[in-house]
Structure 1
Amino acid sequence: MIRKEKVLICYNEPASIYENYLGKSSEKQEEKIDLSENEFVAQIDNIKTALGKNFENVDVLSIGKNIPLALTKMKKASPNIIFNFVEAIDGNANYESYIAGIFELLQIEYTGNKALTLGNCLNKSRTKQVLQSFGIKTPNYLLAYLNKKIEEKKFKLNFPVILKLGKEDASIGISEFSVAYDFNSMNTQLNFLFKNYKQDVLIEEYIKGREINAAILGNRILPLSEITFKNLPNNLPKIVTYEAKWSEASVYYKNTVPVCPAKLDEKTKIKIERMALDAFYAMDCRDYARVDFRLSKNNTPYVIEVNPNPDISKDSGFVRSAAAAGITYDEVLYRLAEFALKRNDNDIQTAFEAQEAVENSY
């Protein structure tokens, strides 16, 4: 049965703000382009088609830096819910949470995670502080403030370490040079990140072990997935780099192979699932998220990332986990829309219609 509610798919116009996305020196043209955003735009038609199987009215709105124009178009569309795929504005990921905040202020229900959750999860050190306060294992770390030198004698973390941008996602800035085995190589990469990305850097003890992804839909854990690095050259650290996600011609892309369901003993599987849900609720997630883990040599899981509103394109890890649970791509999208509609059940009238009714009463 086709539903009558109006669905507006909102996504951000692709934009690049860095001269380098790879996290290493390169002369490749792709280093200056945010491939993650371009990849998503190619999925919009698939998403609209899938939602159109269940909803009569599905529109699409791309949001750029002209926010007043976007609001005007939003008002014209007058949606019951917004399918929120906005991950940045004008290439700046910090604005992801701001847009969700605008939806909230306009009292338009939207899919996925709330503004506060999006902002907290983007901030890697804040995420780790919250996880630690809940007793959830995460690797030891320190936050290196922009252009502030670290004194070697005061450095307390155990090598190797991994360096990550403090407020970025999609593996931007992550390369084989992100794993440092001594203070000098760490300092070299740290200065590279400071120079190219102009932000604080998270330095974290590197867990040399298996990488496990836990996808959560609603409050349900989907089958766990593992990123395997079996054929990756031995001189490269086994991590999910920017190239591994977005650069099809790269060694990393060709040799990071997902396996779902992950082959884990029952005890470890249950422990990861419980920790994933704990992290989901600690960060106040809703609707869907992906929690990433590294397993130490003794199979101790450590949360390394909480990803609200993860990639749900057809070939994404999240959709792969859903498929392993018998949930199709179309069903994933419908369930997310349904979560938002249920929150909106008490007021089927859209926010813009309500505003117009008030204005017309004078």
Structure 2
Amino acid sequence: MKVVILHGEVSADAGMDEKDVLVQATTVSSALTDLEYTPIILPLSLNFLTSLDAIKEIQPSFVFNIVETLAGQGSLIHMAPSLLDYLNIPYTGAGTEAMFLTSNKVLAKQRLHAAGIPTPSFFIPGRTVGSSFVEGTYIIKSVWEHASTWLDDTSIICARDLHSIHRAVLAQQNKLGMDCFAEIFIEGREFNLSLLAGERGPEVLPPAEIRFDDFPPDKTRVVDYRSKWVEDSFEYHHTPRNFNFSQEDEPLLLQLTDLATQCWHVFDLRGYARVDFRVDSTGRPWVLEVNTNPCLSPDGGFYAAVERSGLTFTQAIERIIQDMNRGS
């Protein structure tokens, strides 16, 4: 049974964050082989007609979709499920609407806010959402790009009024050449909760905390690009993933689990996902992002959570496939 593993085309000069999808494709291919499928890895380019013809020629039973970007643009991520919908070919993971809504961080936050799920208030030029402007520390993020793309120390600003935050967001947009927004920075702990589809709905895998070991007092505790992708950096080596918690953390972990499950249902997710949280000094959790196709590389958080749960990665892939045709 042939299965296409679809990923975004990766240019020769792409950064490590984009090239990682090639590792994911190989990892998924190995699991599919274990499940006695015949995997065929296929890049998706902006030449949609060529890509569509290639998929139709293969005639796969289904597509395992791991497209994260097209032409290096996260804003086109939803095109993969949209094209597969057009071809009427089953595919794994989130549908087109869920992929679009969660990948646009501003739309995702609006949906979370409307559902009563706590997410930090934010600012985009012209309006604020969630509450009135509050003086304080903000983090400027790309609206579309994930994997901590472009996040660094310059992304953290102290805003005294709307004018200063407006100016800072526009400056970052001009610098990066992409739409940005500013979000209230939650000083505190950071958690990632991976979810995997099961017969009775989503299963929340063991929660992981990202620690900021030996960070100097004047260094902002944030998982930035260097933390994820620059292997010889301080940040990369001092932000370990931790699965061991004290009994005192149990109420918090239960709350995180409940919120992650709510996110799954709010966006009508399928297969697998990851929800990222910050927990403030009072112990209140805030949802930062909902990732509908989290990294599947062996060194990624989803893979680690699967192993921690006692499942094999191949078993997780099998469950993702089983959830493929779930009704809305």
Q: Please, what TM-score do these two structures have when normalized by structure 1? A: 0.82
Q: Are 1:9 and 2:5 an aligned pair?
A: yes
Instruction: Find the partner of 2:186 among 207, 210, 226.
Output: 207
Match of residue 248, structure 1, among 224, 231, 248: 231
SS in 2 for 1:42: helix
Is the counterpart of residue 177 in structure 1 residue 154 in structure 2?
A: yes
Q: 1:63 aligns with which of 19, 44, 54?
A: 44
Which of residues 189, 192, 196 in structure 1 aligns to 2:175?
A: 196
What TM-score, normalized to structure 2? 0.90
2:211 equivalent to 1:228: yes
Contact 1:112-1:288 at 8 Å conserved across structures: yes
String of CA shifts for 1:102-154, please: whole Å, max 9, x gaps. 10121111011111111111111111111111111111111136xx9x9xxxx
- Which shows bigger deviation, 166-175 or 213-222? 166-175
Does the aligned pair in 2 maintain the 1:216–1:289 contact within 8 Å?
yes
Counterpart of 2:273?
289
Aligned equivalent of 1:216: 195
Report the CA distance between 1:49 and its aligned residue.
Answer: 1.9
1:159 is aligned, of 136, 144, 149, to 136
1:280 is aligned to 2:264: yes
Task: Give the total of aligned pairs.
Answer: 317
Structure 2: which 5+ runs fail to align?
Answer: none
Residue in structure 1 matched with residue 62 of structure 2 by the alignment: 81
The superposition leaves residues 56-97 of structure 1 with CA deviations (integer Å, 9 ceiling, x where unpaired) of 422111112221111111011101110001111111112110
Q: By how many angstroms is 1:46 displaced?
A: 2.8
Contact preservation (8 Å) 1:223, 1:325? yes
Partner deviation per Cα, 1:287-339 (whole Å, 9 max, x = no partner): 11111111111111111111111111111111111111101122222221222
Superposition deviation, residue 261 in structure 1: 4.3
Aligned-pair CA distance for 1:188: 7.0
Q: Which runs of 4+ in 1 moved over 3 A?
A: 182-189, 261-264
Equivalent residue number for residue 239 of structure 1: 222
Alignment partner of 2:136: what SS?
A: coil
1:326–1:185 Cα change, 3 Å: farther
1:322 and 2:306 correspond: yes
Q: How many Å separate the matches in 2 of 1:136 and 1:168?
A: 22
The residue type paired with residue 222 of structure 1 is L
Q: Does 1:118 align with 2:102?
A: no
- Aligned match of 1:38 in 15, 19, 38? 19
- Cα drift, residue 43 of structure 1: 3.6
Amino acid at match of 1:284: D
1:313 maps to 2:294: no
Matched AA of 1:135: G
Contact 2:77 2:103 in 1 (8 A): no
Partner letter of residue 209 of structure 1? Answer: G
Query: How many angstroms apart in 2 are the aligned matches of 1:122 and 1:244?
Result: 21
Which residue matches 1:143? 124
Q: Which residue of 2 aligns with 1:300?
A: 284
Conserved 8 A contact 1:9-1:84: yes
Consecutive unaligned residues in structure 1, runs of 5 or more: 17-31, 345-362
Structure 2: distance between partners of 1:213 and 1:261: 13
Out of 254, 271, 278, the residue aligned to residue 270 of structure 1 is 254
Larger mean CA deviation between 291-300 and 58-67 belongs to 58-67
Contact preservation (8 Å) 1:82, 1:110? yes
* Paired residues for 1:17-28 under 5 Å: none
Q: How far has the Cα of 1:33 moved from its partner?
A: 4.1
Q: Compare 297-306 and 279-288 and name the one that shifted more.
A: 279-288
Once residues 108 and 174 of structure 2 are traced to their aligned partners in structure 1, the CA distance between those partners, rounded to angstroms, is: 24
Any conservation in 1 of the 2:61–2:90 contact (CA below 8 Å)? yes
Deviations 1:140-196 (A, max 9, x none): 111136xx9x9xxxx822311111111211111211221212449856753442123
